[in-house]
Structure 1
Amino acid sequence: MSIRHGLLALLSQGSRHGYQLRAEFEASTGATWPLNIGQVYTTLARMERDGLVEPGEQDEQGRIVYSITPDGATEVGRWFATPITQTERPRDELAIKLAMAVTTQDVDVAEVVQAQRTATMRTLQELTRSKRGLDSPLDVAQTLILDSKIFQAEAELRWLDHCEAVLSRRSLQHPQEEP
């Protein structure tokens, strides 16, 4: 998800100033994606340049309130209607790390896998604890974000199990020769 589309989605619900957008973005994502206020205002400036938002009056504290334009509403509608494909997601750093570990001498790949498993289990436990007590309708967005992260952690653990099995089979098929 881009910050741009997240901010447009919030503005489609009504006009807001940058600090409101930042707070609501973080609340909507369960604080899993913290935003720097500078990112918010830089993104607003670009969206204004692109005709997706327009500045309005200043509030009582001198902050400019932004509104979505018809072009912005079309853009956010298109974003919601367009599925995210695997190729649009960032590269998988863990998969790259393990691939490099397998091909690098003097790296104990099993140790790398175990260190990752421990970290992922810790993350899974923290996410599960964070989810407790989230049951009001206002918590639905946070619950969905946490569920996604929990499912990703569970999938990562399954993949690490698979990696260990593949590595074990390979070592049985090609035992390392003693020098």
Structure 2
Amino acid sequence: MGKPDRPDLPLAEWIVLALVAERPSHGFAIAALTAEGAEIGEFWYISRPMVYRSITRLVERELITPVGAEESDRGPQRMIHAATRSAKTTVGRWLAEPVTELFDVRAELTCKLLLLQRRGTSPARLVERQRVVIDEIEESLRVKEDAAGDHIARASYALRLEQLSAARRFLDAVDVDATQPAVTTG
């Protein structure tokens, strides 16, 4: 469920919205960034049909709007979309929020860090806030591990604690001073 100050969007739609918020773009350019092995797609692959479906949903929610078209050598014109002013603000808030579930570190947090890098924005504040959330998750897991009554449950909590350690190492490896944006496509 979404927070009252922002829409409840799946990760794919947040990524598409964040990319359109960087600068007006068309679905083909976004799909190139989210394709398998591409800059974003290396960490969270979004198929071309899903990119276009996300654009449709974002237009329906009035988060992005068509602003023009671009001729294409490979088919019909490409519709250019831009994020609304409020959507840009919303994306900025979303990018600053740490993930609250351990399983979201690999996809959502990694994508947020990549998107911040593309914007030339330091990830330092997000990394700092994420460390606090990880500490809270660890405290909760340790209590549950201590209270677990059987070997499988204890082993499960031990596994999650190891994943938490990996998340901490990941955060340690993030260069919080790196703010140079990646190359963007048009």
- Normalised TM-score (structure 1): 0.46
Normalized per residue, the structure richer in helix is: 1
Look at both structures and tell me which one has the larger radius of gyration over its CA atoms: 1
